[in-house]
Amino acid sequence: MARVASILVRSMGLAAGVGLLASCGGGGGGVGGIVDGGIRGTGSSVGPVSGFASVFVNGIRFSTDGEVTSDDGITSESQLEKGMILRVDGEWRDDGQGDAERLSYDDTFRGTVADFTGISTTDGTGQFTILGQTITIDRQTVLRLGTATTLANGDAVRVSAWPRGDGSYRASFIGLISDDVNNDMELEGLIDSLTNNGSQKTFTINGTTIDFRDPVLFEGITEADLQRLLDDRVPVEVEGSVDALTGDIDAREIGIGESRRYQRGEVDDIEFSGPISGAVVNRRFAINGLVVVVDDDTEFDDGFGEADLADGLLIQVEGDFRSDGTVLAEEIELREANAKVEGVITNGSIDPAARTFEVGGVLVQVTASTIISSDDEDSANRMDFDDLLAGQNVEVAGIERETDGGLRFLEALKIEFEEDSGGDFEMEGRLTAFDCDAGVITVLGVQMAVDPNNSFEDVSCDDLRTGDFLEVEYASTGIGYFADEVELEENDED
């Protein structure tokens, strides 16, 4: 017991590290080499909204006039939600501030939920379909469900999402809307087949038939372009109504799909977020219909490199359009959560100047790209750092980072308010040190005692290797932490 007590006392050394990290971290730029913001000049920025006053996109706070261009019923900044993928055309500066000339928003889908699998309590993933198109949910998806506790088949929703290489879509935002969505639906996807012979004007998207015999507004394309879009495998967007008898779509508007919001602007600079779609070949990969080119001058953020680029990985790219329409990447940042912690915020740990706090010994860094949300509160859409309080139960999904001095912390991508955990904690992260003889492991910068004979679920302590991805349930002892349950997990980044 004396040895365990000694270990628990040593685990409290993080408290000193918190002060050290706070002293080297600023309110805007983060710590440990985190870069908030990107392009310095004039261009286009496309990514999820992370905050307001005026609006934050890709780590930049853009001043706006409050107006939003959209044909989806969203006309002002006040109607935007965190997680919605927004295009900003404007200019921004080194201080992380910018001026928006134009805000543009477009739903990816509006329709009725079907084939819902539920949301896993283990990893936050789930899946459903809208008119045959598959939409996936992950821990970074923002859900705005009002008083509902989860999605359900038959729910009318609007979805802001990114296309993936397998033809499905990864949701950044899902929100409940009115039940008359069948009269104002929106669908996106690749055309499977096309019939246009005068008397029959239809095409299909993943088995759903779209009828465009009635007068249709073509946005940015013509009716004759449909065959080219089919041949070139370019997604299209359809707005219209669902025929109550056949289930077919009576089209009202047809245009280019998700890739439209990433089109070249008046200048060549662009910054955008999205998952890599398909394989990386010859230093090239696709995101949202854009081909991104990496060269020897491309900069990667700390702990992340070209070899880590892979299908489905969520990243942020800053670059310039080239004459052939590709984007030459100047900087690439990881935006995929690879670690998490859940539990109550530690008393006395909130540092507004450094924008840090602690949960279960894990130091959390909030940046301008962090989404803070709670579906249970009316004000959740406008929550920010100042709404965080000691004793609140939160789940933080983010990127595991390390300072030059070796201090580990979690760069928060999403902070979600949760129900009371009963005082226990959960984390997912890399094992950085362990001593089975002493009965101690270190994960996400937290050193904690373990019982080598009883704490491990599917692996023995002697089988551990530094770098293993672990899921840990643990508790505070008053002088440190003790791991009740340790499991070896598969990490999507492996």
Q: Give the per-residue pLDDT at 289.
A: 86
Q: Give the per-residue pLDDT at 35.
A: 43
Q: What is the DSSP letter of 221?
A: S
Would strands 277-281 and 284-287 be described as parallel, antiparallel, or unpaired? antiparallel
Given a cut of 70, is residue 165 above it in pLDDT? yes
Query: What tens digit of pLDDT does each residue of 121-164 get?
Result: 888 999 999 999 999 999 999 999 888 888 999 999 999 999 99
Residue scoring higher pLDDT (178 or 140): 140
Q: Give the per-residue pLDDT at 377.
A: 54
Cα dihedral 61, 62, 67, 68 sign = negative
CATH architecture of 2-24+338-488: Beta Barrel (2.40)
Query: What tens digit of pLDDT does each residue of 9-44 get?
Result: 334 344 444 444 433 333 334 454 444 444 456 889
Region 256-278: mean pLDDT is 88
Would strands 356-359 and 327-334 be described as parallel, antiparallel, or unpaired? unpaired
Region 464-478: mean pLDDT is 94
Task: Print burial letters for 212-221: b (CB count within 10 Å at least 16), e (below 16).
Answer: beeebeeeeb
418 and 340 in contact (C-beta within 8 Å)?
no
Q: Among 57, 94, 97, which residue's Cα sits nearest to residue 77? A: 57
- For Cα atoms 304, 305, 311, give the angle at the middle one, nearest 5 degrees: 95
Q: Give the per-residue pLDDT at 55.
A: 94
Terminal Cα-to-Cα distance of the chain (whole angstroms):
37
Region 65-88: mean pLDDT is 93
pLDDT band at residue 376 under the 50/70/90 scheme: low
pLDDT band at residue 54 under the 50/70/90 scheme: confident
E-assigned strand segments in 179-248: 185-189, 193-196, 201-205, 208-211, 217-219, 236-242
- Compute φ and ψ for 260, nearest 5 degrees: -60, -40
Instruction: Please name the helix (run of DSSP H) or strand (run of DSSP E) that holds residue 32, with its range, or none.
Output: none
Residue scoring higher pLDDT (494 or 218): 218
Cα–Cα distance, 138 to 136 (Å, whole number): 7
Each domain of the chain, given as residue ranges in start order, spans: 2-24+338-488
Classified as helix, coil or strand, 238 is strand
